[in-house]
Amino acid sequence: MNINTDLLHAHQLHARLTGTYKPEAMAHISPIYQTSTYVLEDFDSAVYLNQHVDEGFVYTRFGSPNCDELEKKIAHLEHAEAAISLASGLGAISTAVLSIVKAGDHVVFGDVIYGCSYTLFAKVLSRLGITYTRVDTSNVQAVADAIQPNTSLVYVETPANPTLKISDIAAISEVVHQHEGITLIVDSTFASPYLQNPLDLGADLVVHSATKYLCGHGTVTAGVIAGSKARIDRCRMPYLQCFGAVLDPFAAWLLMQGMKTLGVRMERHCSNAMKVARFLEKHPKVDRVYYPGLESHPTHEIAKKQMHGGYGGMMSVDIKGGMDAVRKVMNNMKIFSLATSLGNVDSLIQHSPSMSHFDMSPEERHAASIFDGQVRLSIGIEDVEDLIEDLDQALKLV
């Protein structure tokens, strides 16, 4: 089936469970299994399921019918053997990463990635004896040159937060897999499975902050990992088992409802964002627009080759006048909400240097083109003329 049909129907349970269980009612929308534990049939099955938690339901920290349905949907959309859902995007990222690295290993990751992902590598894993090298992952040769004998992980975020830099997943995969024992993880949050499928391009695992486009309505925090069954099993046991970043059944249920409209939402996000980007690119109060759909974006050609159906709803903008201009613009928006998230149906604005990327030093931020006068826009599905008018009236105050 095509993607919009899959979003609505793939792996929809309609209240059916595996085995001999027969529901009393065949609900059109799967019910919420709001329980912490499950009654097991007998001693032998209890022993077996406690040791094979991927084959049934024992305890919600290991899985639930709602999470199982969500995971099958994600695996289907990402063309993966399996997937696992977690309580946040960082829960997914940290679980995926820690299922791979160990003390003494070396990690390569992008010079532009989400601020908390940077903190994980630079300030948490570094305390556990794991070293790292930051590189411009849009430069494949730079990735190749950064690989060391003890490198176990290359971590790529594309499109990157907040400058929307695009990395060539297929080319990086070719470089990475020339070396035995290195895993390639791609954070594809900004694209969603609607616009990009990293596993098809050679990635070993793909992670998403499902809080964002997959949910689309700002109602949950969640994360997902997709890949081979062997890799997902390793993420689940012992890492999810011990870290406890479990997604609760109600959040999984909400995600399933949000994902049904992912396709139509992404079409509108992409369409609106392109029009807003073209407007801002010509605005006299704007120095630069970072949007991969623009021909002026330095990695536009990679995006054109790698992404399908559009370039997403995210962009960053350098406003003339620095921090004072940013403050005036953000305090005078009428439609855009000042909020540190993205991917919602309604439009959001944030100041990346002081919000999502505050943990980086000014020197590190500037080296990554994250400047003090930069705002990040998450373009929603409102009428685009209203969004343009809102941006214009605020910029005129600068």
Q: Which are the catalytic amino acids? A: 61, 114, 187, 212
61 closest CA partner among 35, 41, 30, 39:
35
Strands 348-350 and 337-338: parallel
> What's the angle, vertex CA 255, arms to CA 248 and CA 121, rounded to 5?
70
Distance, in Å, from the CA atom of 330 to the CA atom of 256, rounded to the nearest integer, reads 33
Element (H, E) at 290: strand 286-290
Q: Which residues contact 28 (CB under 8 A, 6 or more apart)?
A: 14
Q: Which residues contact 334 (CB under 8 A, 6 or more apart)?
A: 390, 393, 394
Per-position b or e across 27-62, b if 16+ CB within 10 A of its CB:
eeebebbeeeebebeeeeeeeebeeebbebbbbbbb
Give one word for 384, left, alpha or beta, with left for phi > 0 and alpha for psi -120 to 50.
alpha
The sign of the dihedral angle between the CA atoms of 114, 115, 116, 119 is positive
- Torsion angles phi and psi, residue 135, rounded to 5: -140, 165
